[in-house]
Amino acid sequence: MRTLTIAFAMLASAACSSLDRVLAVEPQDLVPALPIESSSANAQLLVNGAIADFDCAFGAYVVLGGLIGEELDESRSIIDRKPFDQRIHTSKDRLYAVSRCDQLGVYGPLQTARVSAERTIRLLDGWSDADVAQRRSLVATMHAYAGYATLLLGEGFCTTVISSPDASGTLVYGREVTRDSAFRVAESHFGVAIALAEELGASAGRDLALVGRARARLDRGDLAAARSDAARVPSGFTQVMTASASTLRRQNRVWEEERASDLLTVGILYRSLADPRVPVTDMRRSGPTRVPIFYEEKYPSAASPIRIASGAEARLILAEAEIATGTAASLENARSIIDGFRARGNQAPLAASDAATLRAALIDQRRRELFLEGQHLGDLIRYDVPFTPPVGAPYPGGGAYGAQRCLLLPDVERDNNPALGD
């Protein structure tokens, strides 16, 4: 039975009943939202609920993105999961579209997390500082989380829809938008969060939003602006999503899918790196499809947190911007940054500092440093990295590996969103 805390964590999902109708999903375990939303005394509960929605959606995205993006492999041939590991997923697949986050749904959960945060912003904006302690700080937090939910929809999906509540709280259905448009919306949320955090002197909130905006700008190809944001983030900064063994929804999704459900193994590229940032254990057995079982050790328990943003990520963004600048000084600066990461992975310094060498080394360091943090699928798309195993190679569960990278806008959205009509 869910605890009261977890029940409140679900209230934002109740607040997003309009979104549930778009996706034709029956809400699960809902707490009636209107009585809670009517009182400013519940502001912190609303914020906690929106954060909990994001944390669960983020965990599912880490796993599903890892399956598509080579970090993880399926060890069993399960019909509704196989298309993602095999890279042949289509818009008709329902697992990613309408399943709950504790069942590897990502589209509905990410949209719910985004709308939960935006709805909470609207409520906070309607209350005063006298009504809600640290109201502006809570608004900044919600803009940051709305930004990250939107950012992941942009990075992982070929196109998406941004439906948002209006001033009255009614959901206004959005049309299909490009990845770049999603990044711009995310960038706007992060910008508000940064401004508010700086006004309040909240360095942690500012740094979370700075990393997010740098990432969104990197995704858009605005490397100069990304560099400006990344350079402001302290190297030791870290923000994580929390996890707990208390309920399935709160468990670290990688650990649960791998250890508790015995459904995953580490992808072939990550099994023998001898890099402390990618700790793995050879279990010396194979799954039903004869795939060797390797367990990741980055998340050793159900309560292991997953990093959302960090100073390390900011340094990698800074290095990428330096490579793009292309001057001798900037290339040497990029080389110095990358060599620092290589030392963390027991790798020797680079022997050259030309742009091509540095770019390949940067991609490799991102693969290692950001292992199972919801980054690599976006990197595969943005850098157009060749797949491993390659397209056309035999798939252990039957058939061959495909070439589908980004997740398609699901049919359930097209079928139920009136703004997407002919």
Residue with tokens 């190679």: 393
For the segment(s) 4-248+305-412, the CATH number from 3.30.530.20, 2.40.50.100, 1.10.3720.10, 1.25.40.390 is 1.25.40.390
Tell me what pLDDT residue 28 has.
35
From the list 104, 100, 5, 115, the residue with the least C-alpha distance to 50 is: 115
Please, which residues have CB within 8 angstroms of residue 272's CB and are 6 or more apart in sequence? none
CB 65 within 8 A of CB 377: yes
Residue type at 66 in one-letter notation:
G
Q: How far does CA 274 lie from the centroid of its chain?
A: 26
pLDDT at 166: 86
**Beta-carbon contacts of residue 155 (< 8 Å; ≥ 6 apart):** 179, 219, 377, 378, 381, 382
Q: Which DSSP helix (H) or strand (E) runs through 328?
A: helix 328-344
Q: Which pLDDT score is estimated for 20?
A: 37
* pLDDT score at 32: 52
Average pLDDT over all residues of the chain = 91
Segment 297-355, tens digit of pLDDT: 999 999 999 999 999 999 999 999 999 999 999 999 999 999 999 999 999 999 999 99
Cα radius of gyration (the chain)? 21
Q: Which amino acid is at 57?
A: A
Tens of pLDDT, residues 363-410: 999 999 999 999 999 999 999 999 999 999 999 999 999 999 999 999
pLDDT value at position 388? 93
Q: From CA 373, how far away is CA 390, in angstroms rounded?
A: 23
3-state secondary structure of 113: helix
| Bond prior to 390 in cis (omega within 30° of 0) | no
Spell out the domain ranges in the chain. Answer: 4-248+305-412
